[in-house]
């Protein structure tokens, strides 16, 4: 069945929270330096010794229902993918939000804040559809670039963003606090 994508208001965030964002980590991208970094970097996929499940919603303050408690979401876009009346996917895009460091204080930059597809519905194109809505929404508001943050532990997401024509623009190690200090921040960009 095909999902219908709708732009919704922040009152729908409890529905977003009902869509699991967890994923199984079976491999990671190891950052490999060429010539001490002067020659660039490479991401090398390697299997993890013990696969595990990562769930962003288990981190305090990170669930969709918490976003508006610490950020002004007035200028954000919210998209919900519905199969009938059942939420099966969602995406959130942020722009023009003072205090959101990922936006770098720029008015022409948007950030894909969150994207999720129900685990039972992955690989059906729902993520691509909501990503396209995010892209179009940002473009319609005069943004010239879309930024996406993920981690080296989310190999599937990295491959998804590359498939959406995003380019890796930043690799930042040692930026996450415990217990995630081993993860590497990967920043992607899509020129609009």
Q: How confident is the model at residue 38 (pLDDT cuts 50, 70, 90)?
A: confident
- Return the SS3 of 117: strand
Smallest CA-to-CA distance from 94 within 81, 108, 113 is with: 113
* Candidate from 34-48, 92-106, 144-158, 162-176 with smallest mean pLDDT: 34-48
How far is it, in rounded angstroms, from Cα 102 to Cα 98?
Answer: 10
Q: Using CA atoms, how far apart are residues 117 and 87, in angstroms rounded to an integer? A: 9
- Cα gap 107→128, rounded to integer Å: 25
Reported confidence tier of residue 149, pLDDT bands at 50, 70, 90? very high
Q: Assign 59 a pLDDT band (cuts: 50, 70, 90).
A: confident
Euclidean distance between CA atoms 90 and 77, whole angstroms: 11
What residue spans define the domains of the chain? 4-191
Q: Could you give the CA distance from residue 146 to residue 188 in angstroms, rounded to a whole number?
A: 8
Whether the bond between 179 and the residue before it is cis, its omega within 30 degrees of 0, is yes
The CB density around residue 15, as the number of other CB atoms within 10 Å, is 17
Convert the pLDDT of each residue in 100-146 to its tens digit: 999 999 999 999 999 999 999 999 999 999 999 999 999 999 999 99
Mind listing the pLDDT tens digit for each residue in 71-83?
A: 999 999 999 999 9
Question: How many Å apart are CA 126 and CA 109, to the nearest integer?
Answer: 24
Helices H / strands E in the chain, number of each? 4, 9
Can you tell me the distance from the alpha carbon of 42 to that of 62, in angstroms, rounded to the nearest whole number?
30
Pick the CATH number of 4-191 from 3.40.630.30, 2.60.15.10, 1.20.272.10, 3.40.1190.20: 3.40.630.30
177-to-26, 31, 43, 160, 173 alpha-carbon distances in Å:
22, 19, 22, 26, 11
């Amino acid at each position: 069945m095909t999902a219908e994508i709708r732009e919704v208001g922040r009152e729908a965030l409890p529905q977003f929270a009902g869509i699991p964002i967890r994923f199984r980590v079976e491999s990671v991208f190891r950052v490999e330096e060429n010539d001490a970094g002067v020659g660039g970097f490479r991401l090398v996929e390697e299997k993890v010794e013990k696969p595990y499940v990562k769930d962003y919603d288990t981190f305090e303050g990170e669930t969709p229902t918490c976003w508006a408690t610490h950020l002004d979401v007035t200028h954000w876009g919210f998209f919900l993918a519905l199969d009938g009346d059942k939420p099966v996917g969602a995406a959130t895009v942020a722009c023009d939000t003072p205090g959101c460091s990922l936006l770098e204080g720029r008015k022409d930059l948007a950030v894909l804040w969150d994207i999720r597809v129900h685990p039972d519905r992955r690989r059906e194109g729902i993520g691509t559809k909501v990503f396209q809505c995010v892209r179009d929404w940002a473009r319609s508001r005069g943004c010239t670039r879309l930024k996406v943050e993920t981690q080296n532990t989310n190999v599937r997401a990295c491959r998804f963003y590359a498939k959406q024509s995003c380019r890796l623009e930043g690799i930042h190690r040692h930026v996450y606090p415990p217990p995630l200090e081993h993860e590497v921040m990967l920043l992607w960009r899509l020129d609009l």
